[in-house]
Structure 1
Amino acid sequence: MNMSSSTIKRGVALCSVMAIGLSVATISSARDRDDLITTASTAGTTAYIVGKNIDDNDFAQAQDFADTQQVALRREAATGEGENIDSLAALLGEENPQAFGQWMQSHYAELYSNEASAKTNLADRIVAMR
């Protein structure tokens, strides 16, 4: 099996995000049921993505991820950090998830304007803006 270095890096990043998500879900208590569901959902989605061969389908995976995690991504974009942003960054091939999160925070109004978010997927909006 011949894997590229970027594929290995993405796999390691996604595994790390999954481990963090599982740790948060099992160790800390959520403030309310929504937090617990979001964390468990993120861990499950990340596990799904890690289990797939994402070489050629990264953008399609990013679009699917943006659809299924839209509420959590919007919340994390407002703060500029989070495990969902890290996962989306990996799927979009971003080298620095922290900088990507900060970029999302600084462009929050453009990414989540009513007109833009009603017409296109978040991954499409990000790619168009970057």
Structure 2
Amino acid sequence: MRREDRESDEEVQVNPYFRQKQDRVGRPGFSYHQKVIVALRMMAYASLADLMDETHGMSESTCLDTLEQFRDTIVQVYKDEYLREPNQEYLNRLIRKAEDYGFSGMIGSLDCMHWDWKNCLTGWQ
């Protein structure tokens, strides 16, 4: 069985919200994939929840619930390994690496918007 056909991903195992359920008249509700796609699209494109109704048939409130559940699940699953405060050793390594590339003082300004970029599009300057 293909991975796409299973709902055994970590998010589904951690949060039953992502399991496909039936609505009150017995029709299948939104699948795991539909919910995750909506959450990812909302985050990636800063899409409004009410716009998802047109493309995915998901109401605004369901989109917002899905986004919130997705966020909470990702934090719960990955916080210990990936979502942690940087320690001093890690910060020192980042600072050294940034200085090697000519970006001294980048910590605290990770977007580097204060730098002049010679190849920057004129609309952004």
TM-score of the superposed pair, with normalisation by structure 1: 0.27
Larger relative contact order (CA 8 Å, sep ≥ 6): 1
Bigger-Rg structure (1/2): 2
